[in-house]
Structure 1
Amino acid sequence: MSTYQVTHLATGEHVTRPGVLLNPHYKPAGKGRREVDPSVEAYHAQLPHYGSTILHSLPSIAHELGFAHVFLKDESTRFGLPSFKILGGSWAVHRALCSRLDLDASATTLETVKQAITTRKAADVRLVTCTEGNWGRAVSRMAKYYAIPATIYVPGFMNEYTRSLIRGEGADVKVLDDGSYDDTIAAVQHDTETHPDALMVMDTSWPGYTEIPGWVTEGYSTLMTEVDRQVVAQTDGASLPVLAVASVGVGSWAHSVVSHYHTSSPRHGGNKIVTVEPIAAACFKESLQCNAITPIRTGHTIMNGMNCGTASTIAWPVLRDGVYAAVTVNDWESHGCVQELQALDANAGPCGAATLAALRKVCNEQMIGKEERKAMCVVLFSTEGRREYDVPP
């Protein structure tokens, strides 16, 4: 088994870790269960370009690895953006604005909120967040829909192409030239503390800031119920246990995946969730190794959307109990899977393609036995479409 090195941010300690970890804290019947709020999908149906994204069937990979089915959920066209992030971002922005305006979010439309911002003279509200790319663009798009300004803090490693996409949504992009993602979080906190118009909308949480990140996780439920419908349609209604492979940055997306597949519904009995992170930023896996949230020093990776050094506090207990195995991949493995999926007509960027690399590692390490695989349906969540990045050497 391959290994990699990680540095703890607080102590500077260097440790060597295996590339794949079978979660020693696994308790799939534990925390994280939640009922789907139907008002979430009803709200999403109001947004421009509403519609389901593609669920690709990958029979060649299913045959190679011995699964009943392998599917890839392609989020490259969600609401006209190349990522799933707007699902969580839109619902969180809606709920946050409704809270500020004292409106019932479940019974209030996008147009009603826009009108209330104007008529109640509450227009001096500004969305503030940070991003490695897709999250910031999603929040900026929502600011455009509500006709309010947005300030997006970005780390220095973000390329100019990605910055320009966020600016193209009308946002004010503030670059921390030598800053990491964790540094941008601090900048967002400072902005919010010093400017009364700032409304912080983050997809990660920390003590004292949990409500809005919780709404982000709720927003992703639309994707999960959509996948359920598509899998049923493509398997003729067969009730098979699911092996879901999801990427982890701060953890809000994986939180939604674990919560969904560990519901009490009989259809979801025997499900397993595998997470994937780049070796340059495996903050969740390191937290599993230490059995506590453990901030780490991050490095460069083409998987920008996962380049995070600290796990979200509300996601952590759900992931700790509900993730079956945590996997790391390097840039070359991710890039190779981008090319492989492209040949199969699936539009996946490095974060999305990493799920295929992780699936192969789990199989190679026999963490899912060959007999068990025969009756399993795999869902790979490709969270972003193809984008510019430097091909690894």
Structure 2
Amino acid sequence: MPENASALPTPPWSVRPGARAWRCVPAPAEVLDFHAALPGYAPTPLIELPALAGELGVGRVFVKDESCRLGLPAFKALGVSWAVHRLLGEQAGSGRDPGSVTLVTATEGNHGRAVARVARLRGQRAHVFVPQGVHPRAVAAIVGEGAEVTAVPGSYDEAVRRAAEAAAARDTVLVQDSAWPGYERIPGWIVEGYSTLCAEIDGQLAARGVNEGPDLVSIPVGVGSLAQAVVTHYRSRDRGRAPALLAVEPEAAACVLAGLVRGRAVSVPTGETAMAGLNCGTPSSLAWPHLLGGLDAAVAVPDSAGARAAARLAALGVSSGPCGAAALAGLCTVLGGTGADERRTALGLDATSVVVLLSTEGPSANPHHTSGQ
């Protein structure tokens, strides 16, 4: 599927040698057991696509399909459910009545709906701030979970600022998947919750005869919390092979790529993109050290590449939105254009490589927007 390299320019890309040797502390082992005990839990599918492997010139390609996770169309419920479990458990242990808590967050859609769903199931209230451009269907889905919704006439980053201000009220707690100095505990729990997705992949690959794990994982990146969870999983163990980890962002909001190029966290202005859930201009402060240390590479892709990737996945029977299809769009972009052979070598890919693509959400309600971060 990579297009003719001679016909394409060099993509926005950064590679960081030595990332596979970087190490960190693993996620708590009990997270998977917590999720497995939830009503309706089941591992999401890991779908093998031999035709795509042939097109990409690798051995095997698998897509982790997060289009239906605990009854919601994205992976976000994993992080939110664990974080709220930890939060309410702490409050019960301190003697505080958890029934008085309002969970506040900002969202492009899926994270906010997950907060609203978990709040409803746990008997809490939810207040969700949505930035300009979120599709009315995404807003309606959040309202349908019983949450109060406040529209913000600005960017995702502005919605986060407004949510943080609202969370200063009594009996109110911010449940955000992005961290900044002074606000890292709850985002850290959310990242821990995402570890279940990676643990599932281990078991599913082993069941297909891939006992050493993948050679490359391609990850859609917004503020970087999911990428932090993936880095933590694969950089906190010595067993099996250490895969290359590729971060994929929209060209309109490539803050992680910009930071990797500069060697430090930076904020970038954001523009319009169909990958709205990845439209974040500032990486999470909690995620950044893991991204800088453990990512092998990052690439920025245009919306057109995301649309082609979503169409290709659909043709192969995988239901994916623009954010989820970014994983494939990024890999195709890396393997096309000027310098494709060098990028393939930098990622350690050959005709025997096993690749996992994280398709983080189902199709969008609107061709111009998706419900992600």
Give the TM-score normalised by the residue count of structure 2. Answer: 0.91
- Among residues 11, 14, 18, which one is paired with 1:22 in the alignment? 14
Label 1:39 to 1:295 Cα distance change in 2 as closer, same or farther (>3 A). Answer: same
Match of 1:10 in 2: none
Residue 262 of structure 1 aligns to which amino acid in structure 2? R
**Number of residues of Structure 1 aligned to a counterpart in Structure 2:** 356
Match of 2:198 in 1: 224
Q: Percent identity?
A: 41
Match of 1:278 in 2: 250
CA distance in 1 between counterparts of 2:312 and 2:200 reads: 25
Label 1:21 to 1:72 Cα distance change in 2 as closer, same or farther (>3 A). Answer: same
Match of 2:45 in 1: 54
Structure 2: state its 5+ residue gaps.
Answer: 1-8
Question: What's the secondary structure of 1:206's corresponding residue?
Answer: coil
CA distance in 2 between counterparts of 1:388 and 1:155 reads: 16
Whether contact under 8 Å (1:30, 1:322) holds in the other structure is: yes
Q: How much has 1:46 moved relative to structure 2?
A: 2.9
Matched, 1:245 2:218: yes
Matched, 1:332 2:294: no
CA distance in 2 between counterparts of 1:240 and 1:298 reads: 35
Residue 36 of structure 2 aligns to which amino acid in structure 1? A
Label 1:142 to 1:391 Cα distance change in 2 as closer, same or farther (>3 A). Answer: closer
Match of 2:288 in 1: 316
- Among residues 268, 286, 311, which one is paired with 1:296 in the alignment? 268
CA distance in 2 between counterparts of 1:376 and 1:240 reads: 10
CA distance in 1 between counterparts of 2:156 and 2:348 reads: 42
Match of 1:65 in 2: 56
CA distance in 1 between counterparts of 2:283 and 2:253 reads: 11
Question: What's the secondary structure of 1:299's corresponding residue?
Answer: coil
Match of 2:316 in 1: 344
CA distance in 2 between counterparts of 1:241 and 1:81 reads: 27
CA distance in 2 between counterparts of 1:244 and 1:60 reads: 18
CA distance in 1 between counterparts of 2:204 and 2:49 reads: 14
Whether contact under 8 Å (1:88, 1:220) holds in the other structure is: yes
Q: How much has 1:71 moved relative to structure 2?
A: 0.4
* Aligned ranges 1:146-185 → 2 under 5 Å: 146-177=122-153, 179-185=154-160
Whether contact under 8 Å (1:335, 1:391) holds in the other structure is: no
The superposition leaves residues 235-269 of structure 1 with CA deviations (integer Å, 9 ceiling, x where unpaired) of x2443542000011100000011111123332133
- Among residues 138, 147, 170, which one is paired with 1:196 in the alignment? 170
Match of 1:374 in 2: 351
Q: How much has 1:273 moved relative to structure 2?
A: 0.3
Match of 2:333 in 1: 361
Note the aligned Cα RMSD (angstroms): 2.0
Residue 156 of structure 1 aligns to which amino acid in structure 2? Q
CA distance in 2 between counterparts of 1:122 and 1:61 reads: 48
Match of 1:6 in 2: none
Residue 202 of structure 1 aligns to which amino acid in structure 2? Q
Structure 1: state its 5+ residue gaps.
Answer: 1-16, 104-115
Label 1:25 to 1:214 Cα distance change in 2 as closer, same or farther (>3 A). Answer: farther
- Among residues 86, 92, 100, which one is paired with 2:77 in the alignment? 86
The superposition leaves residues 200-256 of structure 1 with CA deviations (integer Å, 9 ceiling, x where unpaired) of 11111101111111111110111101011111112x244354200001110000001
Whether contact under 8 Å (2:215, 2:349) holds in the other structure is: no
Q: How much has 1:391 moved relative to structure 2?
A: 5.3
CA distance in 2 between counterparts of 1:362 and 1:77 reads: 28
CA distance in 1 between counterparts of 2:146 and 2:33 reads: 26
Q: How much has 1:387 moved relative to structure 2?
A: 1.8
Whether contact under 8 Å (1:26, 1:320) holds in the other structure is: no
4+ runs deviating over 6 angstroms? none
CA distance in 2 between counterparts of 1:319 and 1:196 reads: 34
Q: How much has 1:340 moved relative to structure 2?
A: 1.1
CA distance in 2 between counterparts of 1:372 and 1:348 reads: 24
Question: What's the secondary structure of 2:219's corresponding residue?
Answer: strand
Q: How much has 1:37 moved relative to structure 2?
A: 2.2
Q: How much has 1:92 moved relative to structure 2?
A: 0.9
The superposition leaves residues 169-214 of structure 1 with CA deviations (integer Å, 9 ceiling, x where unpaired) of 111010012x111101111121122x11111111111011111111
CA distance in 1 between counterparts of 2:79 and 2:186 reads: 10
The superposition leaves residues 358-380 of structure 1 with CA deviations (integer Å, 9 ceiling, x where unpaired) of 11122222212398422321000
Question: What's the secondary structure of 1:266's corresponding residue?
Answer: coil
Match of 1:256 in 2: 229
Question: What's the secondary structure of 2:252's corresponding residue?
Answer: coil
CA distance in 2 between counterparts of 1:27 and 1:340 reads: 30
Of the two structures, which has the highest relative contact order with CA contacts closer than 8 Å and spacing of 6 or more?
2
Residue 362 of structure 1 aligns to which amino acid in structure 2? V
CA distance in 2 between counterparts of 1:294 and 1:36 reads: 26
Matched, 1:129 2:101: no
Whether contact under 8 Å (1:88, 1:219) holds in the other structure is: yes
CA distance in 1 between counterparts of 2:348 and 2:326 reads: 25
The superposition leaves residues 317-336 of structure 1 with CA deviations (integer Å, 9 ceiling, x where unpaired) of 11011111111111111111
- Among residues 151, 167, 182, which one is paired with 1:208 in the alignment? 182
Match of 1:3 in 2: none
Whether contact under 8 Å (2:113, 2:141) holds in the other structure is: yes
Question: What's the secondary structure of 1:79's corresponding residue?
Answer: coil
CA distance in 2 between counterparts of 1:46 and 1:141 reads: 17
Question: What's the secondary structure of 1:80's corresponding residue?
Answer: coil
